[in-house]
Amino acid sequence: MFFHTSLVTLAAAFALVVSAFSVPLDSEMALSIANTERGLNGLGPLTWDVELSNAATNWASYLGEVGGVVHATEAERPNQGEVIAHYTSTSPDDASAHPMTHAMVDWLAERVNYPPGAVIDQNSGPYIHWSQLVWSTATAIGCGFNQSHPSFFDTFVVCRISPEGNIIGQPPFPSTTTKITRRQDTSSGPFEGEITHYTTGLGACGYDDTGASGIVALSHEKMGAPSNGNPLCDRRVLLSANGRTVEGKVRDKCMGCAIKNVDVSEDIFIALYDDLGIGRGSVTWELI
């Protein structure tokens, strides 16, 4: 697990660095999470921009060389916002785990610090990454990351957004913007989707499930906005795959999972597929 996190911004967003540590679908997951957040605030989606991605990737590589967080100047990123995350780890496995998705989830978690209707000023630090990502006039994003290990594993994630947001004296989106509250999908299924596995920890339902078994994480779309007190928390789940059936319990939310997909603790995945190494498989599941 990352043991240190540093998030920094001026006004910004994302880019994909293709390296030996690249995680398939990391950029797609990060973009999906960002656009889900924008949709919940009545805003249009961002599109992935290759030029922004390349620029972000180059800057992340530079940060890896200097070994610290430094923002590009306005001249180096004309009309581009910039968000930077810095993680350190003692483990190469932890350092390579979905860095862009990890950073996006951390940035968007700042929503809880935003006073409704507030404008950007010297007091906006606690939500300055979130505000850039949901800035109403932003249309494009590109992200990248760099990982190096001189003495420990450093990961720098950079996102660039165009046009630039976080303009002093303005709110992230107009007060006339209608916030969309989608009705939570609590239907029981059955559903046919894909199953992946993860290492359990503090879950979205408010439990510390570190090392626990029988854990199921439903997609952020299925779980909806509520965390603690979510009506789907603690629901039993019947999962069938590979001619086998296993029961689990909803205790977490999977950011980036499609609505019919599930992420499960390793014991469930092994019970269905024997081998964690395959990473992903087909599954039929339903709430019971």
pLDDT at res. 130: 95
- Condensed to tens digits (0 to 9), the pLDDT of residues 136-160 reads 999 999 999 998 765 567 889 999 9
Q: In the CATH hierarchy, which fold is given to the domain comprising 4-162?
A: Pathogenesis-related Protein p14a (3.40.33)
Q: In CATH, which of 3.30.460.10, 3.30.56.10, 2.40.40.10, 3.20.20.150 is domain 191-287? A: 2.40.40.10
Please name the amino acid found at residue 249. Answer: K
Cα(29)–Cα(100) distance, rounded to whole angstroms?
8
d(CA 54, CA 59): 9
Whether residue 185 is predicted with pLDDT greater than 60 in this model: the reply is yes
* Exposure b/e, 163-189, CB count within 10 A at least 16 = b: ebbbbeebbbbeeeeeeeeeeeeeeee
Give the pLDDT band (50/70/90) at residue 74.
confident
pLDDT bucket at 175, cuts 50 / 70 / 90: low
CA triplet 82, 87, 89: central angle to 5 degrees? 165
Residue-range domain boundaries for the chain: 4-162, 191-287
Q: What pLDDT, on the 0 to 100 scale, is given for residue 165?
A: 92
pLDDT over 50 (residue 18): no
Percent of the chain with pLDDT over 70: 82
CA atoms within 13 A on the CB side of 59: 31
> Given pLDDT bands bounded at 50, 70 and 90, which one contains residue 283?
very high
Of 206-210, 263-267, 268-272, the one with minimum mean pLDDT is 206-210
Q: Rounded CA gap, 264 and 252, in Å? A: 9
pLDDT for residue 224: 72
Whether residue 16 contacts residue 54, with contact meaning beta carbons closer than 8 Å, is answered with no
Torsion sign (Cα): 32, 33, 34, 40: positive
- Three-state secondary structure call for residue 202: strand
* Mean pLDDT to the nearest integer, 12-41: 65
What would the pLDDT profile of 80-119 be if each residue is shown by its tens digit?
999 999 988 776 665 556 888 889 989 999 998 998 889 9
Question: Looking at residues 256-272, what average pLDDT do you find?
Answer: 88
Residue scoring higher pLDDT (86 or 209): 86
Average pLDDT over residues 275-281: 87
SS3 130: helix
